[in-house]
Amino acid sequence: MDSYIPDLPERLPGIHALRGLAALMVLLFHVHHVGLIPLPHSWRLIATHGGFGVELFFVLSAFSLLYSSRKYTQQSDQKWLLTYLSKRFFRIAPLFYTMLFIHCMLIFFVFNGALDIKRVVMSLLFVFNFAPKEAEGIVWASWSIGVEMVFYAFLPMAMVLIRSFRGAVLLWCIGVLASYFYRQLLESDPSIPSGYAHYAFMSQIGVFCGGILGYWTFHKIQKTSGVTRQYFWWVTVVLGPILAIVLLTEVGVFLVSAGRPDTQLWGLSFGLTAALVAISTKRWMSHPILQHLGERSYSIYLTHAVVIYGAGPAIRHLYEVLYPTLGGYGFAVCASVVLGATLLVAEVSYRFIEVPGIALGRRIATSRFSAIYEHLPAHSPS
């Protein structure tokens, strides 16, 4: 069994930098698809692959949660499960509930729509991913939050059961096959909304398993030395960044088929790239701008769609004004305007909603649960 490695830093700058890049990928993707701002032909990669920023978020979530939480399972800390669940809930819920309230107000007062109480309750309980017709969520772009919350419930079991690199490889194989065949099943059922084949948690479980495998690859490289370390390093390079390059060719186009095997391979590529980035000391990864974006990536993700919708007419007009001079590259100016506005909104939500919510989760985890465990036996059954 591989043991936990002590004396590692609490935060990995490279992983934080990737979070910032994932947030930018999704924002640019939606500036084009939601804001309806045309792209120059040479930037079509944003339209075709920018949405994979969500899968990158999934991978980084799995990687970072294993990195930050696995030490508790190794140390037989009785409080680790409730501590983990408390921190996860208060990391996600405060901002999500705020955005849910805002979206309900928009539906009722701006769009003159009726509020579906059932949908609201499902969002409050984070169970909307289990309902095919509701999986997109009320909050724009929140389908991924429904997936994440299911994964948070699944991860503790994975942390207890998967204790080695080989176990992570086996889990990845099982997860990829499960996602592939489940998605095929959904795609073949005409009674299921077409989008649910992508939004369903089981369709994404293989991607999360890519993050778990990425963490264990990182663990293996950190633990070993000499020839073994070099072997894992080069295998990771080949199956990480080089796999991503291959997926951007016609090979990737061929794999965009029933069951979307390309999505699962992107999960593997992202996971192994995360392992490389986590052990790297490249200075650009610690750049304050990327660290700033990574720290606020959740706020950027949940607020950017509202900003794009609200600024839509203005940025489309700006694009029309710029087009005679810049052509399609006016997209860059429009995207910069959206990014600037989103960062302002995200800064407010981060400072006044996210940070207090995180602090509350930590206080509850360290104080309220202590009394519960005082009455438990000295060792939990394993």
Per-residue 3-state assignment (H helix, E strand, C coil) for 117-134: HHHHHHHHCCCHHHCCCC
Residues in the chain: 382
Over residues 243-267, the mean pLDDT reads 96
> Encoding tokens for residue 187?
């795609």
Identify the DSSP state of 284. G
> Encoding tokens for residue 219?
């663990």
How big is the chain by its Cα radius of gyration, in Å? Answer: 21
* Lowest model confidence (mean pLDDT) among 7-11, 82-86, 200-204, 374-378: 374-378
Report the C-alpha gap between 89 and 98 in whole angstroms. 14
**Digit-coded pLDDT (tens) for 128-187:** 999 999 999 999 999 999 999 999 999 999 998 999 999 999 999 999 999 999 999 999
211 or 281: whose pLDDT is higher? 211
Report the C-alpha gap between 183 and 203 in whole angstroms. 5
Residue 270: the pLDDT is 98
Nearest to 136 by CA among 196, 54, 81: 196
Identify the DSSP state of 38. P
Nearest to 342 by CA among 313, 292, 308, 291: 308
Nearest to 355 by CA among 124, 98, 94, 11: 94
Over residues 205-230, the mean pLDDT reads 94
Residue 381: the pLDDT is 36
* Lowest model confidence (mean pLDDT) among 23-27, 192-196, 377-381: 377-381
Report the C-alpha gap between 23 and 288 in whole angstroms. 15
Alpha helices in the chain (DSSP H): 13-33, 44-49, 53-74, 80-105, 117-124, 143-161, 165-187, 196-199, 201-223, 226-237, 243-247, 250-255, 261-279, 288-295, 297-326, 330-349, 355-363, 369-373
> Residue written as tokens 């070993």?
224
Residue 77: the pLDDT is 59
Nearest to 313 by CA among 113, 110, 37, 112: 37
Over residues 215-237, the mean pLDDT reads 90
Distance in angstroms between the alpha carbons of the first and the last residue of the chain: 16
**Digit-coded pLDDT (tens) for 19-45:** 999 999 999 999 999 999 999 999 999
> Encoding tokens for residue 279?
């052990």
Residue 285's pLDDT band (cuts 50, 70, 90): confident
Over residues 1-11, the mean pLDDT reads 57
Does the pLDDT of residue 211 top 70, yes or no? yes
The pLDDT mean for the chain works out to 91
Residue 70: the pLDDT is 72
> Residue written as tokens 């930037």?
43
Over residues 102-114, the mean pLDDT reads 92
Decide: pTM greater than 0.85: yes
Q: Please give the torsion angle defined by the CA atoms of residues 269, 274, 275 and 280, in that order, rounded to the nearest 10 degrees.
A: 130
Does the pLDDT of residue 10 top 80, yes or no? no
**Digit-coded pLDDT (tens) for 325-365:** 999 999 999 999 999 999 999 999 999 999 999 999 888 87
Q: 54 and 26 in contact (C-beta within 8 Å)?
A: yes
Packing angle of the helix pair 53-74, 80-105 (nearest 10 deg): 150
Identify the DSSP state of 39. P
Report the C-alpha gap between 267 and 118 in whole angstroms. 33
Over residues 216-223, the mean pLDDT reads 93
Q: 147 and 58 in contact (C-beta within 8 Å)?
A: yes
Q: Please give the torsion angle defined by the CA atoms of residues 121, 123, 126 and 130, in that order, rounded to the nearest 10 degrees.
A: 90
Does the pLDDT of residue 4 top 50, yes or no? no
Residue 372: the pLDDT is 52
Residue 370: the pLDDT is 53
Report the C-alpha gap between 44 and 29 in whole angstroms. 10
Please report, rounded to a whole number, the percentage of residues in the chain having pLDDT higher than 70: 91
Does the pLDDT of residue 295 top 50, yes or no? yes
